[in-house]
Structure 1
Amino acid sequence: MQVPLYQAKAEFFRMLGHPVRIRVLELLQNGPVPVRDLLSEIDIEPSSLSQQLAVLRRSGIVVSIRDGSTVSYALAGGDVAELLRAARRILTELLVGQSELLAELRQADV
């Protein structure tokens, strides 16, 4: 039995629902990044980063690239970067709306 599309989408967003995974994807938007650089940008233990990279790799969102002893990660496709940009636009609109509401509430207190 095939999984309904809405359920597959929910699973996809659930997989993205971890701050470290989102940060990794943000860092990979401009091209491959060595694991050591990811570690220096994200303040977590190497084993935790490895676990989150494995989740992203199993989902097919990132790929690993080995060059000698250096392992780098890259986005498997450009659509993920576009999704992150869309999320940024949506969050910006939400926050602008909230700040406008806050200003109205403050004005009503006067």
Structure 2
Amino acid sequence: MPLNHVQRPLYEVKANLFKGLAHPYRIRILELLAGAAEVSVTDLQAETGLEASHLSQHLAVLRRHRLVESERRASHVFYRLADRRTAELLSVARSLLLSMLEDDGGRLAQAQTLPQIPGGPATVDTAATTREPAS
């Protein structure tokens, strides 16, 4: 069934949310923001190792997709998650990643070394999250 004129714009908004997440550094930036009330651009740059111009571009994408908010104080700019539920989304994505890598022991072990998402589970029971595909 094709999307109707009411559904299509809603699915476009949802797709744009995922476009905002569609880069490894943007995901890492969001993870860093999930771990604190706010983080300065200086600290984000130090944690990610990105050049200032590249970090600025990623932050602009995240702002455009309404995933982060910023506030300037004197000569510093601070970022925070626009919605704390983004931390939950990141945690679910990590859980899904671990579940998808169950059959690839080497990559699973590597994925398990990724930083935990604050507010998410400390460990993920991939057996509990794995479901058989619908037939």
Question: Which residue number corresponds to residue 38 of structure 1?
Answer: 44
Is structure 2 residue 101 aligned with structure 1 residue 95?
yes
Paired with 2:29 and 2:53, the residues of 1 have a C-alpha distance of 14
TM-score if structure 1 supplies the norm length?
A: 0.80
SS at match of 1:73: strand
1:1-110 → structure 2 map (5 Å cutoff) = 4=8, 5-30=10-35, 31-99=37-105
AA aligned opposite 1:85 = S
Unaligned 5+ segments in structure 1 are 100-110
Task: Quote how far apart the aligned CAs of 1:96 are.
Answer: 2.0
Indicate the structure (1 or 2) with the bigger Cα radius of gyration. 1
Paired with 1:59 and 1:3, the residues of 2 have a C-alpha distance of 19
Paired with 1:83 and 1:75, the residues of 2 have a C-alpha distance of 12
Contact 2:16 2:65 in 1 (8 A): no
Task: Quote how far apart the aligned CAs of 1:61 are.
Answer: 0.8
Paired with 1:98 and 1:22, the residues of 2 have a C-alpha distance of 22
Indicate the structure with greater helix content.
1
SS at match of 1:96: coil
Instruction: Calculate the aligned-residue CA RMSD, in Å.
Output: 1.6
Q: Deviations over 1:42-68 (max 9, x none)?
A: 112100100110111111110001221
Paired with 2:20 and 2:94, the residues of 1 have a C-alpha distance of 18
SS at match of 1:56: helix
Question: Which residue number corresponds to residue 123 of structure 2?
Answer: none
Contact 2:31 2:90 in 1 (8 A): yes
AA aligned opposite 1:28 = L
Q: Deviations over 1:56-100 (max 9, x none)?
A: 11111100012211111000111111100000111111222433x
